[in-house]
Chain A
Amino acid sequence: MKYENTYSKLADFGRELLNKKSLVEGLPLISKYAKDVVGAQRCSIFIYDLQHKELWTTIADGVEKIIVPSEEGLVGHTLKIRKPIIENNPYANSHFLKSIDKETGYKTQNIATSPIFNSQREIIGVLELLNKESEFNNEDVKFMIFFAHYISGFLELTNLYLLEDMKEKKNEKI
């Protein structure tokens, strides 16, 4: 019953999140919350850009976008199968990209992912948690699915903001 308290307090997080007006402000908050609740060392939110078919994320509090391959790795695989993944032994999983660990010097011990859907049932992102002290279990993923759905409205709305903003700027130029 680890998550029982979480659900009763989740609205507090929701309130804080909805004060953020952009993805760049909201993503660190989402990451930190998911990490703390599940007890994982790291959390990344990958945003899937439907227009450019690109998957991107930011590093920690950084503002800069990092584009990642959308067909590779366990995140790419999540995008493909449209389902969450638990992998407690990533080095034995052929989808896992060992090269990233090599590059960063960070050793991934376990991974859990969940797709984030918009109202049209398109994937707009992937929530990824790394290195839980014990192993990821079904209860963790159940929470992640719930949480991904809970934040999807915020993500979709800020996306719409962005598109609208781009349109308005374009019109100004004309």
Chain B
Amino acid sequence: MKKFKQIAQFGQKLMTLSDMDHALDLISEEAKTLLDADRCSIFIVDLEDKILWTKLSDGVGRIVVSLSTGIVGHTYQSQRPQIVNTPYSDDRFLQAIDKKSGYETKNIITVPIFDSKRDVIGIIELLNKVKSDFDESDLSALTFFANYVSGSLELILMNEN
């Protein structure tokens, strides 16, 4: 019950933000708390330039990848969530980003964010769950959460363009 109340409070706060940067920050923070993960990136789909981008966050800097690169690219292409608990043995995983940032990725979960037309407009990615690996219950919580924020995100993207 506590968790639901927390999400409702987060929702109220999210509604007060109309600019993208602050909204993405808030969504990231909430997603991390919800799943007890160390880092969160929200990738936004840019169809014009055919890229996925994040804003500056969490010491990682801005990440830009093609629509088919890495675990997030795969999430975009397949439109399906991904759980990867042993990234270094997964061919899709981009080791270069860890190398550059000096951060060691231990496990990953991603879920697509759909808009009302059922197009993927973004991807939530969480890294390094603190206590254990990511599992099915994390997946259902994050799927719910992605849908919960998708309306606001769609609206913000629409008003920015």
A residues in contact (CB < 8 Å) with B: 7-8, 10-11, 14-15, 18-19, 21, 118-120, 145-146, 148-154, 156-157, 160-161, 164-165, 168
| Contact among B1, B12, B147, B155 for A165, CB-based, below 8 A | B1
- In the complex, what's the smallest C-beta–C-beta distance from B118 to chain A, in angstroms? 9
Contact: B159 with A152, CB < 8 Å? no
- Segment at the interface with A among B3-11, B36-44, B90-98: B3-11
Q: Cβ of A145: which chain B residues have Cβ within 8 Å of it?
A: 116-117
Contact A149 B7 (CB under 8 A): no
Cα distance, A86 to B15, chains bound together (Å):
30
Can you sample 7 A-B contacts with CB below 8 Å? Answer: A7-B155, A11-B152, A15-B12, A120-B143, A151-B151, A157-B11, A164-B1
Whether A149 pairs with B159 at a CB distance below 8 angstroms is no
Name the interface residues of B28-74: CB closer than 8 Å to any CB of A. Answer: none
Which residues on B sit within 8 Å (CB–CB) of A151? 151
Nearest 5 interchain pairs by C-beta: A119-B147, A149-B116, A150-B151, A153-B148, A15-B15
B18 within 8 A of partner (CB): yes
| Assembly CA distance A153 to B16 (angstroms) | 16
Contact A149 B12 (CB under 8 A): no
Q: Of A14, A148, A157, A168, which one neighbours B152 at CB under 8 angstroms?
A: A14
Q: Inside 8 A of B16's CB, which chain A residues have their CB?
A: 11, 15
A7 CB to closest chain B CB (Å) equals 6
Other than the known A11-B18, A11-B152, A146-B116, what 4 A-B pairs have Cβ atoms closer than 8 Å?
A: A149-B151, A153-B11, A153-B147, A153-B150
- Is B108 close to A, CB under 8 A? no
Whether A157 lies near B150 (C-beta < 8 A) is no
Q: Assuming the A-B contacts A19-B12, A153-B150, A156-B148, are A11 and B155 also in contact, with contact meaning beta carbons closer than 8 angstroms in the complex?
A: yes
Most chain B CB inside 10 Å of its own CB: which residue of A15, A156, A165: A15
Determine which of A7, A18, A119 lies in contact with B143 in the assembled complex, contact meaning CB atoms within 8 Å: A119
The distance from the CB of B160 to the nearest CB of chain A, in whole angstroms, is 11
- Residues on B with beta carbons closer than 8 Å to the beta carbon of A148: 116
Distance in angstroms between the alpha carbons of A94 and B72 in the assembled complex: 46
Report B-chain residues with C-beta under 8 Å of the C-beta of A21.
Answer: 8
A151 to B15, CA, bound (A): 12
| Of B146, B148, B154, B159, the contact of A157 (CB 8 Å cutoff) | B148
Q: Is the CB of B155 within 8 A of A150?
A: yes
* A168, B12: Cα distance in complex, Å: 25
Which of B1, B11, B154 meets A149, CB within 8 Å? B154
Q: A118 CA to B147 CA in the complex, in Å?
A: 7
A156 near B151 (CB under 8 angstroms)? Answer: no
Instruction: Give B141 Cβ to nearest chain A Cβ, in Å.
Output: 10
Residues of A within 8 A of B115 (CB): 149
